[in-house]
Every structure is written in structure tokens, then in C-alpha cells.
């Protein structure tokens, strides 16, 4: 996809959403889903992934179709009401004006008849369905076309505490893991949101990484960047995540929206000096385990130098 060249929409690295914290906050229901000028590009990439690697980007357990349909109905009603210039009713469903119809599309591979797939082809967000049982909140269905360094197949069917096991400080038995489970239990009609962010090389939306591909220390992993190309290749990957409990099934819908912004566009932000300084400070605050998890051990100092230069030049 072509890079966004305008100032970033979301800047959680300004200190408002620190890494490796839960950071949930109430969400205005009217702001649940966000769309922008890249909508059709995102949807085209989702269709490509569904056609080429369907088993890696969509999973479902038996008995989840009713909850998936609930997601599709809830999402469709919201989109038509909120964005009537972009979405319209079509038969018994909803479609994106100017995009291939989800209702008459024979070009998608297995899973294309699942309501969650149809829902995912309306929005830029990925959609994950969590269900409570005796083991906790488990991932029972999901459309994940734009993973941020994790594997849907590896997380499928697992409870939250196992899903978060690789995250420093969030593994089974930790206080954050217990808090997240209680938060899921406590969700009622309200929606909440949080932000996460990282740095990647290039503009790939599909950015998976299996746990098996992780190594204990990344000091021997080569740098993603050379000294002269950070301003060209470094991309800020921001995840806007929302959670809401579905009224009928009582499952929890987890949405993940990816924003990709070249690191260099920070230079166009009116508050660039403060943003760059905060960004650098947060990178410097990460310990070795956290840097390893984020894949930035080899690049942290180079990134910090670039941001400090931006701060001093402002």
C-alpha cells in the first residue's frame, strides 16, 4: 500500500499509551469503527489473503456462527447509520459502495460463507471473537488479516493467559493477566479501547510471526535498517484495539485496526519536538526482554538517534 504522507492520526507514543500496560479507557460507541481513504486498499488486501492463505487468516470453532452473525448484524447497523456515504443496504446485508459485494463473491476461498468473514470485508479492522468457559476467555473465531507479529493459528482455541504468555509481564499467574480476565468478565454494554505500537521495516499490513520463530535474545538478529535508510524504511505500526461484549451471545468482540505511518512523517507534525522526545524516551525505557519481544534490540539506539535529531531540529 502507499504510505500515508499526512501527520499520523494516532500518536500513542506521546506518553498516553505506554507499552506493556493494559491502558483501557472508555470508548464513545459512535467512535467504535474508524474508516479513512485507505478503506478499499485494506479490503482488497484482505480479499487477496483470504484467497491465497485462508487457513492462516480465518479460524472458527463449531457453534460460533450465531455469534458471528451477531457481529455482522451489529456492525452493519452501525456502519449504515454512521457512514451512509460509504455503506448501503443490499438485499438482507450491507455493502461498501464501490467495492465488490460480499454477498455475491465467488473469489474467496474456504470460510467465505462465515459471517465473520463477511463482517471483516466491511471494515479495515480485524475481528476476534472471545468466549468464556471454565478455562477462561478463549479465542473461538477470528479474522486476522493484519497480525502484528503473532500467529492466529497458534492462538486459536487458547485462553487469554496463554495467548499473552509471550508478552513480558503478562503471562499466566501475573497480576496483569488476572486483571485482563476480570475486565473481560466485567464488560457490560460499554465499549473500551486501547493502543499499542511498534516499529517495522516496510509497509506490510500482513506482518505475522510465530512464537517458534522468536529467539531468546535478538542481539544477534541483524538490524532492519542501515544508518541511512531509517527515514525511508522505518514505519510506525499503531494498533487501535476495542473491546465490547455482545448483547445476545455475551461473547467479547475484540477489534484491531492497524495504522501505518512512516517515521519520517512525524517531522510534519505541529508538535513534532515533543512527540519525538517522548517516543525516544519510551524506547530508552524498554528493558532487554521488552526490546526482544518488540524486535528492536538491534535498532533501538539508531531509532533514538533519529528521533533526537528530529527533536533538536524542530
Rounded CA separation 186/183 (Å): 5
Give me the numbers of helices (H) and strands (E) for the chain, helices first please.
11, 9
Q: Which DSSP string corresponds to 165-228? A: TTSTT-STTSHHHHHHHHHHHH--S-EEEEEEEEEEES--S-B---GGG--S--TTSPPS--TT
User: What stretch of H or E contains 116?
Assistant: helix 115-120
Q: Say which residues have a Cβ less than 8 Å from residue 270's Cβ, sequence separation at least 6.
A: 7
**Residue 60 β-bridge partners:** 141
Percent of the chain with pLDDT over 70: 89
Query: Which range among 5-9, 32-36, 130-134, 256-260 shows the weakest confidence by mean pLDDT?
Result: 5-9
Confidence of residue 3 (pLDDT cuts 50, 70, 90): low
CA–CA distance, 143 with 56 (Å, rounded to integer):
9
Q: Which residue has the higher pLDDT, 299 or 243?
A: 243
pTM: predicted TM-score of the whole model, two decimal places: 0.91
pLDDT at 188 over 90: no
Q: Which pLDDT does position 1 carry in this prediction?
A: 53
pLDDT of 81 above 80: yes
Question: Is the distance from CB of 160 to CB of 137 less than 8 angstroms?
Answer: yes
pLDDT of residue 233: 86
The 10s digit of each residue's pLDDT in 207-256 is: 997 544 443 334 456 677 765 678 778 999 999 999 999 999 999 999 99
CB neighbour burial string for 288-308, b if at least 16 within 10 angstroms, e if fewer? eebbbbbbbbbbbebbbebbe
- The pLDDT value recorded for residue 267 is 86
> Residue 278 — pLDDT band, cuts 50, 70, 90?
very high
- For residue 223, the model assigns a pLDDT of 74
21 has pLDDT over 60: yes
pLDDT tens string 83-142:
999 999 988 899 999 887 765 454 455 456 899 999 999 999 999 999 999 999 999 999
Determine the pLDDT at residue 218.
44
- Report residue 249 as a C-alpha cell: 451471545
Contacts of 106 (CB under 8 A, 6+ apart): none
Residue with more model confidence, 1 or 57: 57
Q: What percent of the chain has pLDDT over 90?
A: 75
| pLDDT digit string, tens, across residues 63-73 | 999 999 999 99
Is the pLDDT at 5 greater than 80, yes or no? no
Amino acid at each position: 500500500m502507499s504510505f500515508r504522507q499526512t501527520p499520523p492520526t494516532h500518536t500513542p507514543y506521546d506518553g498516553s499509551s505506554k507499552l506493556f500496560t493494559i491502558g483501557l479507557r472508555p470508548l464513545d460507541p459512535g467512535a467504535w469503527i474508524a474508516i479513512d481513504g485507505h478503506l478499499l486498499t485494506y479490503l482488497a488486501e484482505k480479499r487477496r489473503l483470504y484467497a491465497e492463505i485462508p487457513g492462516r487468516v480465518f479460524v472458527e470453532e463449531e457453534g460460533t456462527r450465531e455469534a458471528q452473525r451477531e457481529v455482522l448484524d451489529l456492525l452493519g447497523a452501525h456502519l449504515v447509520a454512521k457512514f451512509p456515504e460509504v455503506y448501503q443496504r443490499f438485499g438482507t446485508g450491507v455493502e461498501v459502495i464501490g467495492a465488490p459485494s460480499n454477498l455475491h463473491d465467488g473469489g474467496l476461498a474456504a470460510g467465505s460463507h462465515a459471517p465473520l468473514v463477511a463482517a471483516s470485508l466491511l471494515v479495515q479492522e480485524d475481528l476476534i471473537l472471545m468466549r468464556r468457559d471454565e478455562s477462561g476467555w478463549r479465542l473461538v473465531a477470528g479474522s486476522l488479516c493484519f497480525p502484528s507479529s503473532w500467529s492466529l493459528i497458534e492462538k486459536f482455541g487458547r485462553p487469554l493467559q496463554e495467548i499473552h504468555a509471550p508478552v513480558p509481564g503478562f503471562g499466566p499467574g501475573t497480576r496483569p493477566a488476572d486483571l485482563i480476565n476480570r475486565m473481560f468478565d466485567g464488560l457490560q454494554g460499554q465499549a473500551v479501547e486501547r493502543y499499542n505500537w511498534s516499529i517495522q521495516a516496510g509497509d506490510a499490513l500482513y506482518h505475522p510471526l510465530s512464537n517458534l520463530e522468536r529467539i531468546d535474545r535478538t542481539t544477534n538478529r541483524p538490524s532492519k535498517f542501515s544508518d541511512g535508510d531509517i527515514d525511508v524504511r522505518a514505519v510506525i505500526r499503531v494498533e487501535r484495539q476495542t473491546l465490547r461484549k455482545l448483547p445476545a451471545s455475551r461473547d467479547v468482540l475484540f477489534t484491531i485496526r492497524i495504522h501505518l505511518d512512516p517515521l519520517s512523517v512525524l517531522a510534519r507534525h505541529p508538535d513534532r519536538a515533543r512527540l519525538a522526545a517522548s517516543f525516544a524516551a519510551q524506547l530508552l525505557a524498554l528493558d532487554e526482554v521488552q526490546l526482544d519481544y518488540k524486535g528492536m534490540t538491534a535498532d533501538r539506539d539508531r531509532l533514538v538517534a533519529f528521533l533526537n535529531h528530529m527533536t533538536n531540529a524542530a
